[in-house]
Structure 1
Amino acid sequence: METTQLTPTRQRTWITTAEACATLGMSRETLRKLRMRGILQPGKHYRRWGCTKGKGPLQWHPENVEAALNGWSKKNEG
Structure 2
Amino acid sequence: MKKDWIPTEQAAVELGITPRQLRKLRLQGVFKAGKHYRKKNPIAARPTYVWHCDRCAKVLE
For normalisation by structure 1, the TM-score amounts to 0.69
Aligned residue pairs, count: 60
Which residues of 2 match residues 1-78 of structure 1 at below 5 A? Answer: 5=1, 11-50=2-41, 51-52=43-44, 55-70=46-61
Runs (4+) off by over 4 Å: none
- Superposition deviation, residue 56 in structure 1: 2.0
For normalisation by structure 2, the TM-score amounts to 0.85
Q: By percentage of residues, which structure has more strand?
A: 2
Structure 1 spans left out of the alignment, 5+ residues = 6-10, 71-78
Percent identity among equivalent residues? 33
**Larger RCO, structure (CA 8 Å, separation 6 or more):** 2
CA RMSD, 1 decimal: 1.4
Q: Between Structure 1 and Structure 2, whose CA radius of gyration is higher?
A: 1
Structure 2 spans left out of the alignment, 5+ residues = none
